[in-house]
Amino acid sequence: MSLRGEVCVVTGAGGFLGKRLVRLLLEEEKLAEIRLLDKLIHPQLLQTLEDCRGDTTLSVCEGDIRDADFLRKSCRGASIVFHIASIIDVNDSVEYREIYGVNVKGTQLLLEACIQENVVSFIYTSTIEVMGPNSKGDPIINGSEDMKYQCTLKFAYSRTKQEAEQRTLQANGEVLHNGGRLATCALRPMYIYGEGCRFLLGHMGDGIKNKNILYRMSKPEAKVNPVYVGNVAMAHLQAARSLKDPQKRNAIGGKFYFISDDTPHVSYSDFNHVVMSPLGFHIQEKLMYPLYLLYLVCFMMKMLCMMVRPVVRIVPPLNRQLVTMLNTPFSFSYQKAKNDLGYSPRFTWEEARERTVEWLASELPKERQRIRAK
């Protein structure tokens, strides 16, 4: 099902995944207009899209996702919204009020704007972290959408993303002002890597400081399945096509889908090594410290931060939930997305790795220079 002639809104269009999705939409579909919604859109982004823009109008919508009037204006006349924008925070460094305001309130206001402005399709970018892992580190291997998993989410990020996802799915079938109905679905990607991934840059920077040796924060047996950014973008496009198809719309509306690809299952730390070893990086053989000691250090840092909280807010660089996440086998299948959405990875693991390594190689001199300058 083609999106030809449609007007779509992409929130977080200036970000890692948002930029990739906008380019894919331009390359794959003859849309009438794409509205790039973000706090700030750099003019350079529009310049990089000129080679594939064709006759599609690119409109910049700069503003705050917590501004209801701004959202209504941005959605007016649109038929599809890709809601990617959110605050990503795995260290609990962002104040809860701020992250809740963007991740939950912003999503709710956007859904209301869609209802008021008769937007018929809404695709929400969720995260694997709405599943866990739980504090006991219970593993999931090749999990599916139908499985049950007991988890009390600890991160403000995962809690707010879970609530926003629930609100999105509950809005499926809401009556629009013109009498039509809103169809929604949510995509839960694994850890997303590829060109522009700031987490990979951070790990590379740490490795440079450590004489080209990457830190090991994950046990080798704690296998996960990262997903390439180009394949996540493709999943979003397939979801939009499916929601437009009258025969599929009711079947997938109100549902969530795990998004992975054929990237090998490895631990987070070993994945860093896989994409950075061609650049001369090595990795520690064992964990920096035994897990029990890491948990003890996390507890002590948490107590210390709580003691000084009345005077100053300090965010510890490591916490118990992050250590658990890095050391829990946690992988999921994309079979349901394949069956329902027609999703299949566009990029093979070999292509994804090659593109990621080439990008990291281009960034390596700048990272070395930046670290030397400190």
Encode 26-95 in three state secondary structure: HHHCCCCEEEEEECCCCHHHHHHCHHHHCCCEEEEEECCCCCHHHHHHHHCCCCEEEECCCCCCCCCCCC
Q: How far apart are the first and last CA of the chain?
A: 52
* pLDDT greater than 80 at residue 309: no
Give me the pLDDT at residue 90, please.
Answer: 82
Between 26 and 155, name the one with better pLDDT.
Answer: 26
Residue at 276: amino acid letter: M
Per DSSP, the residues of 236-300 read: HHHHHHHHHSHHHHHHHTTEEEEE--S---B-HHHHHHHHHGGGT-EE-SS-SS-HHHHHHHHHH
* Residue 14: CB atoms within 10 Å: 20
CB 218 within 8 A of CB 269: yes
Query: What is the average pLDDT across 176-198?
Result: 96
* pLDDT greater than 90 at residue 310: no
How far apart (Å, rounded) are the C-alpha atoms in residues 315 and 188?
Answer: 27
Could you tell me the pTM of the whole model?
A: 0.95
Residues ≥6 apart with Cβ < 8 Å to 329:
139, 140, 141, 221, 222, 223, 224
CB 259 within 8 A of CB 367: no
Alpha carbon 64 to its chain's center: 19
Q: Which residues are catalytic?
A: 157
CB 287 within 8 A of CB 219: yes
Give me the pLDDT at residue 319, please.
Answer: 87
Give me the pLDDT at residue 324, please.
Answer: 93
Token output for 148: 């049950």
State percent of the chain over pLDDT 90. 83
Average pLDDT over the chain, rounded to an integer? 94
* pLDDT greater than 80 at residue 374: no
Residues ≥6 apart with Cβ < 8 Å to 44:
none
| Residue 341, φ and ψ in degrees, nearest 5 | -100, -15
Give me the pLDDT at residue 332, please.
Answer: 97
Query: What is the average pLDDT across 283-308?
Result: 88
Give me the pLDDT at residue 311, please.
Answer: 78
Tens digits of residue pLDDT in 37-93: 999 999 899 999 988 889 999 999 999 999 999 999 999 999 999 999 999 988 878
Task: Give me the residue spans of the domains in the chain.
Answer: 7-197+226-264+330-349
Give me the pLDDT at residue 174, please.
Answer: 96
CATH superfamily of 7-197+226-264+330-349: NAD(P)-binding Rossmann-like Domain (3.40.50.720)
Tens digits of residue pLDDT in 340-356: 999 999 999 999 999 99
* pLDDT greater than 90 at residue 213: yes
Give me the pLDDT at residue 155, please.
Answer: 86
Q: Is 238 exposed, middle or buried (0-12, 13-18, 19+ CB in 10 A)?
A: buried
Give me the pLDDT at residue 146, please.
Answer: 94
